[in-house]
Amino acid sequence: MRNFVSSITTYGLLSPDQAMREQVNQWLSSRPCLTCEDWFCRHWASPSLGTPKALVEFIYDRLSAYSGLCVGRIHPTDRLLEDLHFPAVCWFDWGLTLCDDFYHAFDVDILDYFDETQLVTCGDLVAFLQGYLTPHPT
């Protein structure tokens, strides 16, 4: 019985905060909800960025699944912690899940390098992931 109660308590602590999700989605609601294609064109298609469309499609899909937020309303300058409240709106292990999903999508293992505490904005996350899609000289 103690294990059951402990499991329920732990589950609540590790699961997404639905009230915070609603609050963040409300904050984002003043912005248009862009399709993945429009989100790519508006924020990531600049030749100077060189962001692959496949990466943007991956991020659009996965961040939505992890956070429950309308990713089409997120701007590259939105801060993952202060604005989007990722630790609260996502499952506790969203970073591990991202690494696993990234591996399956792009055949690149980033688990030993990913540290969400070092990423401030959505743009930082995109740049980090993009850096691992670009071959590094050895």
Residue 104 placed within a domain: yes
Residue 46 placed within a domain: yes
Q: Residue 79 in 3-state DSSP?
A: strand
Domain count, the chain: 1
Residue 42 placed within a domain: yes
Residue 94 placed within a domain: yes
Residue 15 placed within a domain: no
What's the pTM?
0.85
Residue 9 placed within a domain: no
Q: Residue 92: give the domain boundaries.
A: 32-133
- 10-residue mean pLDDT profile of the chain (138 residues): values are 50 71 97 97 91 97 95 98 94 91 97 94 97 70
Which residues, 6 or more positions from 93, have their beta carbon under 8 angstroms from its beta carbon?
14
Residue 7 placed within a domain: no
Element (H, E) at 94: helix 94-106
Q: How far is CA 78 from the centre of its chain?
A: 11
Query: How far is residue 88's CA from residue 49's CA, in Å, rounded to a whole number?
Result: 30
